[in-house]
Structure 1
């Protein structure tokens, strides 16, 4: 096998590799999405990408020149850290080992993070799906990376019947992320809010639901969820996905997501996978 820089003629092979790892609730990666990832841009976590040097993307090939895997990595000048941004190899253990080793060799002796933030290849997926990508996870761990279980990735078909709606909702456009923001106010006081993304290929993202402490316990969260999902369906979404950052340490009431997980389970969302990020110290 040999490793070489990504070339324009590799596009279809790399899209096929990315598609082989596609999770339920994720759209097929398009050439436009791949071009954004290669250029080091992303509509989600874009600020993190702006801090990086231009990514280096390489493919690994067999003797006949067939592309078997791909890895993209970059350095961050601000603190000298390195990043394995994305990697695909049909979960072949030998290829995963080789691609991780290649990125580490090129990044040199520095702290390296892997799957730290979302790329343009997915719809906001920040982290490596641990159960669906076992060979990549093992390759990282055997190379000295320590994983962090950060996110719960969930999906549901739309529409979902039987959910209540919140009263007195106002809906406005928002640009970060691109979509709509739903608000419930009592006078000037914001009681609850939800943010949804514009559907892509029939898939809508519920980015955020929040209920102010004085308004909790009244069913406002479930009402906001019902309103947000119906709005997504009205915009053409046939399924919805969401991410729950339930990695708070015990006792951290500010970031406790027990109620959020209970809400989404009750509404009919199912967990697709857990998303992990990784760090390796020199």
Structure 2
């Protein structure tokens, strides 16, 4: 029986420990290039409402509720986690996965959440969970049925992030990527994220650029941030700093690198314009995997 004709035979119930294997299979079936496989430990953190990324936003929420969707035979076909936020009374769909990205199943999960949350503003895919390396939004190209189901439920979407990916070549991964570039960035542990901070300084010691990279997970490293001082741009510093950031990741075991670009700036906003950053990433061999969207439903 096609999945879409089985909606009347579905039922929802709270997640139990016995659902772990089935739920992990659903999550990993949606895994994007450049994302490590979700482990039982990562799922445990997500269920508890903890995340190494966006942890401050998670701390604002009440304890998450996680429900599964099953058919009449007890097979788990979908899972959704949601919560409320006391400071503004909003509801949030934190993460959602279903078998074969089926729109009927996704719609049933969304209906379950809306029924449980009641009449209030509901946000979906607002920030990253422990299930991924920083996916702050729904990858709409790889999850088109989920996007359609949200829109059918009167959610409006906003395109916020560019998700990009690059494999490290053999020389980089072996730590033999040629001579080190100059000026050489200082590398120090990063206190805000588990990783390293790279700082470029001018000849007088003033900072000229900085980058932040995350400790690789299962061979995947994250370039969290890179920037150069406005007065020192157009001198190749960004290109050199990016190359050194990739080398730091390779030296610590990365075989792939991902990055997120918040290129949703409105026209005429020079502070948030990411045109130059996107050119830098594209020239360095990054390719766009998907666009990350967030969604809002007003009562």
1:152 aligns with 2:166: no
Which residues in structure 2 correspond to 1:34-183 (within 5 Å)?
34-89=43-98, 90-159=100-169, 165-183=181-199
- Structure 1 unaligned runs (5+)? none
Distance 2:179 2:260 in 1: 20
Question: Hey, what does 1:268 align to over in structure 2?
Answer: 285
1:163–1:226 contact (8 Å) kept in structure 2:
no
Question: Hey, what does 2:253 align to over in structure 1?
Answer: 236
- Structure 2 unaligned runs (5+)? 1-9
**In structure 2, the residue corresponding to 1:199 is in which secondary structure?**
strand
Which residues in structure 2 correspond to 1:240-255 (within 5 Å)?
240-255=257-272
* C-alpha displacement of 1:163: 10
Distance 2:143 2:179 in 1: 34
**In structure 1, the residue corresponding to 2:279 is in which secondary structure?**
helix
1:3–1:61 contact (8 Å) kept in structure 2:
yes
Q: Deviations over 1:201-248 (max 9, x none)?
A: 000000000101111010111000000001111100000000000000
The alignment's C-alpha RMSD in Å is 1.2
**In structure 2, the residue corresponding to 1:139 is in which secondary structure?**
helix
Distance 2:118 2:180 in 1: 54
* C-alpha displacement of 1:166: 4.2
Q: 2:31 aligns with which of 22, 25, 41?
A: 22
Inter-CA distance 162–95: structure 2 relative to 1 (3 Å threshold) = farther
Q: Deviations over 1:10-41 (max 9, x none)?
A: 00000000000000000000000000000000
* C-alpha displacement of 1:175: 2.5
Inter-CA distance 39–249: structure 2 relative to 1 (3 Å threshold) = same
Distance 2:97 2:137 in 1: 13
Q: Deviations over 1:69-119 (max 9, x none)?
A: 000000000110110000000311110010011111111111100000000
* C-alpha displacement of 1:190: 1.1
Distance 1:162 1:142 in 2: 53
TM-score after normalising by structure 1: 0.98
Detail structure 1 runs of 4+ shifted over 4 Å in the superposition.
160-164
Question: Hey, what does 1:205 align to over in structure 2?
Answer: 222
* C-alpha displacement of 1:165: 2.8
Distance 2:124 2:101 in 1: 16
Distance 2:208 2:72 in 1: 62
* C-alpha displacement of 1:167: 1.1
Q: 2:208 aligns with which of 191, 196, 200?
A: 191
Distance 2:107 2:58 in 1: 25
Inter-CA distance 163–240: structure 2 relative to 1 (3 Å threshold) = farther
